[in-house]
């Protein structure tokens, strides 16, 4: 019979984030993979993904996500948003957060700043 994990109700979200900071990414990924949320081959990164400021150390927090297309006009149901709206979205998001942007242009147009 499996034991239920012990939950510490006294911990805040910031406490959990700090605990996550202490765990290596591959260990987290291996644990999450067990939930079969998506195929094991989906979401893999290539060597173009790398830290741009490695001297800042480990970043742990909430992902504030977006998708951008710079080469095509907006599709039905999509709209163009201003940089100000993007930053307001980031400011409204839980913190600490990091902006994660997927460039949908092919080849990537590097349209994120």
pTM above 0.75, yes or no: no
How does pLDDT run across 46-73, given as a tens digit for each residue? 777 777 888 988 888 888 888 887 777 8
The answer on pLDDT for 26 being more than 50 is yes
The answer on pLDDT for 22 being more than 80 is yes
Asked if 105 and 111 count as a contact pair (C-beta separation under 8 A), the reply is: yes
Asked if 103 and 110 count as a contact pair (C-beta separation under 8 A), the reply is: yes
pLDDT confidence bin for 113, thresholds 50/70/90: very low
Mean pLDDT for the chain overall: 79
How does pLDDT run across 4-15, given as a tens digit for each residue? 666 666 778 888
The answer on pLDDT for 92 being more than 90 is yes
pLDDT at residue number 55? 92
d(CA 42, CA 26): 15
pLDDT at residue number 1? 59
């Amino acid at each position: 019979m499996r034991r239920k994990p012990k939950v510490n109700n006294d911990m805040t979200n910031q406490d959990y984030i700090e605990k996550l900071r202490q765990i290596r990414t591959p260990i987290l990924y291996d644990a999450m993979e067990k939930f079969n949320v998506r195929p094991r081959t989906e979401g893999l990164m290539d060597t173009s993904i790398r830290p741009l400021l490695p001297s800042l150390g480990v970043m742990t927090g909430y992902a504030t996500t977006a998708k951008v297309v710079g080469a095509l006009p907006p599709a039905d149901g999509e709209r163009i948003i201003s940089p100000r709206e993007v930053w307001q979205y980031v400011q409204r998001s839980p913190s600490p957060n990091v902006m994660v942007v997927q460039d949908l242009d092919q080849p990537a147009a590097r349209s994120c700043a």
